């Protein structure tokens, strides 16, 4: 029987990692939260939906005999990472993390770091036209800022209609610089709010905003529990190989 590896997914990196491990002969199960309607699926087995908190994940792990858990969730998926840390500890299953490096703030300070969505909005004065690219969460709070409006871009539709003064663009990356410049010009954007997701594609909107002298508010990453973390797929594949798990 090949050793089993659980990947907590929801990112492109998780998918590519699963593909790489399956190609190397491992028995891989990728877990997806089930929030994306038509997710691109990795090789190997896939399960969908939450586990039911730490208790549910502990129960799941107890019945599955995984040799390794790889937390390859998005840098902002803090709850899943915390649950994985707690359940892995309880079940004595080794846990490692794949996390793309955060963007480094340029020396000349071309963005303002903020801790969360509310802090980002509090930093914008009345009348601002804001481009929001932070995903579906928190959009219900837009109504708390009636003096602001703008554009929300999301891959999936929000659960409820946006507040008055906001329009929605449903679209999926990658977006090139000309696309981002055009969108920001066309909508007379004055501020960009985004997450410090990292990655080379996602920084394009920040570059476009800087080009147009649009103020950028970057929500910094939540702190995740400490565990051995790899920032690249090849490095993690090599590390898994060196564990000498039978295939």
Give the residues lining the site for ligand NAP (CB under 6 A). Answer: 8-11, 31-33, 35, 50-53, 56-57, 73-74, 76-80, 83, 135, 195
Residue 68 β-bridge partners: 5
Cβ distance to ligand NAP smaller for residue 72 or 245: 72
Nearer to ligand NAP, 55 or 178 (CB): 55
Closest contact distance (angstroms) between CB of 201 and ligand NAP is 13
**Cα separation of 194 and 86, whole Å?**
29
Smallest distance from the beta carbon of 108 to ligand NAP, in angstroms? 27
Mention every residue, 6+ apart, whose C-beta is less than 8 A from residue 132.
139, 142, 150, 151, 152, 153, 193
CB of 180 to ligand NAP, least distance (A): 18
> Measured from the CB of residue 149, what is the shortest distance to ligand NAP in angstroms?
23
Q: Smaller CB distance to ligand NAP: residue 31 or 204?
A: 31
Give me the least distance between CB of 50 and ligand NAP, in Å please. 2
Quick one: 63 or 246, whose CB is closer to ligand NAP? 63
- The rounded distance, in Å, linking the Cα atoms of 180 and 205 is 6
The phi, psi pair for 54, rounded to 5°, reads -65, -40
**CB nearer to ligand NAP: pick between 8 and 132:** 8
Q: Say how far apart CA 99 and CA 198 lie, in whole Å.
A: 9
For ligand NAP, the closer of residues 10 and 150 by Cβ is 10
For 165, which DSSP code? T
> 232, 6, 226: which is closest to 98 by C-alpha?
232
Residue 246 Cβ vs ligand NAP, minimum distance, rounded to whole Å: 26
- CB-side exposure of 149: number of CA atoms within 13 Å? 9
- Give me the numbers of helices (H) and strands (E) for the chain, helices first please: 7, 12
């Amino acid at each position: 029987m090949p050793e089993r590896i659980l990947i907590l997914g929801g990112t492109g990196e998780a998918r590519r990692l699963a593909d790489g491990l399956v190609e190397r002969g491992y028995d891989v199960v990728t877990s997806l939260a089930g929030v994306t309607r038509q997710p691109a699926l990795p090789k190997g087995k896939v399960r969908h939906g939450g586990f039911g908190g730490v208790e549910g994940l502990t129960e799941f792990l107890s019945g599955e005999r995984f040799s390794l858990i790889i937390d390859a969730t998005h840098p902002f998926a803090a709850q899943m990472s915390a649950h994985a840390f707690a359940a892995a500890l309880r079940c004595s299953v080794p846990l490692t993390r794949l996390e793309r490096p955060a963007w480094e703030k340029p020396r000349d300070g071309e963005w303002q770091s903020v801790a969360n969505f509310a802090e980002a909005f509090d930093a914008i004065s009345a009348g601002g036209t804001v481009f929001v690219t932070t995903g579906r969460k928190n959009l219900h709070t837009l109504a708390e800022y009636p003096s602001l409006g703008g554009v929300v871009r999301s891959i999936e539709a929000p659960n409820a209609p946006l507040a008055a003064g906001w329009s929605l663009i449903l679209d999926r990356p990658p977006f090139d610089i000309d696309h981002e410049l055009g969108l920001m010009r066309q909508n007379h954007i004055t501020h960009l709010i985004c997450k410090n997701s990292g990655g080379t594609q996602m920084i394009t909107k920040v570059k476009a905003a800087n080009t147009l002298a649009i103020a950028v508010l970057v929500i910094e990453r939540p702190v995740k529990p400490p565990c051995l973390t790899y920032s690249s797929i090849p490095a993690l594949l090599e590390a898994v190989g060196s564990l000498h798990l039978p295939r």
